[in-house]
Amino acid sequence: MAAFPLQGLIDRGVEPGTYIPVLATSWELSPDKKAYTFHLRQGVKFFDGTDFNAQAVKWQFDYNKANSRSVFAKWINSCDVLDDYTVRFNLVEWNTLILDGWTGTGPNSFISPTAFEKNGMEWTYTHPIGTGPFKLKEYAANQWIKWERNPDYWNQPYPYFDEVDIIGMPESMTALASLLKGEIDGMKELDILNVKDLTASGKYEIQWLSGGHLVLYYNMTDTSSAFSDVRVRKAMEYAINKDLIASTLGLGYVEPVYEVIFGINEVGNPGTTPRTYDPDKAKQLLAEAGYPNGFKATLVTLTKFYGDYVIALQGDLGKVGIDMAVDPQGSAAWTMTNTMAPKGNEFRYERERGGAFTMVSSTYGDLNKDSLFFPGMTRPAKFQELLDESLFFEDWNKVVANFEEMERIAYDQEVMMVPLWSGPDLSAYVKTLKTEKPSPFYWGGRPSLYMLQYCWYGQ
């Protein structure tokens, strides 16, 4: 929701590794790579009528750095105001992730310093005074959020809508019924079976977004775990008929995945060999690892992931002798569980975030040796060395070459996780909302990369 009122200096471009202007019109890295200078868009106002300018950018940066609100800030020593619309960020050390830190709507998006100083932090949580296309009109916790058009938005004629109401609904079937009755114009997190019916009606547009990859991970360092043997990890993937499961249950919206680094096969060609379905090969590897009769294991997952896909996994693994019990957990328990490495023959069904556009930042966030994610996963020394080295390449082709080698280590050699299939986020909206732009929700910047979601449901 932060994309409605808040904006950053730049955004990710259409091609991976590129960026486009938002609140900054241009930027340059100094020849010694010790500073970035940003030239700011003039004439932009916060919702309270105060100016977005260099002083506002410096205030936001200084506040974030002083309060440790942005990991990104650790790479920058200070921010200097050169004039009202020019700022210079003095770097601790340049790396390829720094530009990514100015994208999106996280801690490095901008709010009005005047509003913050006058009203305090708590007030800003429900009064986001930004520069974006929509202003908050009305809010009721866990019920609705109403946004109204910002008439002074700098990127006219966007946005197209005068008001957007986002309604919270706890049950997907309630949301679907409201959509069919015409009470709402769109909804997200559609069940694939419902998508099929909505498409057949001819009244709705379906939007597919990447919801990440679903993967299995395990404890590679615990020698008491069967999964500490790479042959067992390879056997797991050979045992799973990913192509059949994805095509049968996914109805054309889900694809099998054969990569550990999310997005590498979209931007490069690591030359890895997919471990496609081969139960005989799986049994052979299990026998070589000392498990000719298989073994017992427990899959731990979020309750919302427990369903046909997990049952299909259970069936395929059972055919090669891996007797899989399932431990579905609610959000609170899962959050605690996922801070600790799996124990023994426990393994987990988890979502891997990222993609081609965020390949470097997401890999660094999820797979570097100090990551809090995927505890128990081994990060080989060469893998870490290549990842660290990639942070200091300005040439995107060099970054891709390193990541191709990392993928060969992660997928071919170490099997750091077992990738399964894509996890699409499917949304629907009524066709009457169409405009001349690729998405009815386009308001400038990158068009149609995600849908403005009118209705959500969940825990």
In a domain, 231, yes or no: yes
Phi, psi of 220 (to 5 degrees): -90, -15
Write out the DSSP string of 406-450. HHIIIIIIS--SEEEEEEEEEEEEEGGG--SSSSTT--SSSTTSS
Q: Report the alpha-carbon distance of residue 391 to residue 385 in Å, rounded.
A: 10
Span of 194-208, 233-247, 317-331 with lowest mean pLDDT: 194-208
**Which of these, 68, 94, 64, 69, lies nearest to 79 by C-alpha position?**
64
Q: Report the alpha-carbon distance of residue 282 to residue 261 in Å, rounded.
A: 23
Verify cis geometry, omega within 30 degrees of 0, for the bond prior to 440.
no
In a domain, 158, yes or no: no
SS3 category, 153: coil
Is residue 145 within 8 Å of 139, Cβ to Cβ?
yes
> DSSP code of 129?
-
- 445: β partners: none
- Its domain, for residue 262, covers 211-424
> DSSP code of 221?
S
Q: Report the alpha-carbon distance of residue 57 to residue 40 in Å, rounded.
A: 9
pLDDT for the residue 295: 97
In a domain, 19, yes or no: no
Q: pLDDT tens for residues 120-179? A: 988 888 899 999 999 999 888 778 888 899 999 998 888 877 888 888 877 778 888 888
Pairing of β 86-91 and β 144-149: unpaired
SS3 category, 27: strand
CATH number, domain containing residue 220 = 3.10.105.10
Rg (CA), the chain: 24
Q: Report the alpha-carbon distance of residue 377 to residue 379 in Å, rounded.
A: 6
Q: In the block, which residue shows the tokens 């498990």?
A: 291
pTM to 2 decimals? 0.83
Span of 193-207, 310-324, 443-457 with lowest mean pLDDT: 443-457
In a domain, 457, yes or no: no
pLDDT for the residue 156: 86
Q: Report the alpha-carbon distance of residue 188 to residue 198 in Å, rounded.
A: 13
In a domain, 13, yes or no: no
Q: pLDDT tens for residues 371-400? A: 999 999 999 999 999 999 999 998 999 999
Give how many domains the chain has, as a whole number. Answer: 1
**Which of these, 167, 134, 122, 114, lies nearest to 6 by C-alpha position?**
134
In a domain, 299, yes or no: yes
Pairing of β 418-430 and β 186-187: antiparallel
Q: Report the alpha-carbon distance of residue 303 to residue 44 in Å, rounded.
A: 45
Q: Compute, in degrees rounded to 10, the torsion defined by CA atoms 334, 451, 171, 351.
A: -20
In a domain, 223, yes or no: yes
Q: Report the alpha-carbon distance of residue 266 to residue 276 in Å, rounded.
A: 19
Quote the mean pLDDT of the chain. 88
Is residue 182 within 8 Å of 455, Cβ to Cβ?
no
Q: Report the alpha-carbon distance of residue 90 to residue 155 in Å, rounded.
A: 29
- 326: β partners: 299
Q: In the block, which residue shows the tokens 């699409």?
A: 424
Pairing of β 144-149 and β 134-140: antiparallel
Q: 74: part of which helix (H) or strand (E)? A: none
Give me the percent of the chain exceeding a pLDDT of 90: 62
SS3 category, 159: coil
Q: Report the alpha-carbon distance of residue 230 to residue 263 in Å, rounded.
A: 23
Q: Report the alpha-carbon distance of residue 392 to residue 399 in Å, rounded.
A: 9
> DSSP code of 51?
B
pLDDT at residue 208 tops 80: no
Distances (CA, A) of 228 to 115, 215, 231, 346: 54, 17, 9, 11
Q: pLDDT tens for residues 340-369? A: 999 999 999 999 988 888 899 899 999 999
In a domain, 136, yes or no: no
Q: Report the alpha-carbon distance of residue 150 to residue 162 in Å, rounded.
A: 8
Q: Tell me the longest C-alpha to C-alpha distance in the chain.
A: 73
Length of the chain, in residues = 459
Q: Compute, in degrees rounded to 10, the torsion defined by CA atoms 315, 318, 324, 326.
A: 10
pLDDT at residue 68 tops 70: yes
> DSSP code of 376?
T
Higher local confidence (pLDDT), 186 or 141? 186
Q: pLDDT tens for residues 84-121? A: 999 999 999 999 889 988 887 677 889 999 999 999 98
Higher local confidence (pLDDT), 292 or 194? 292
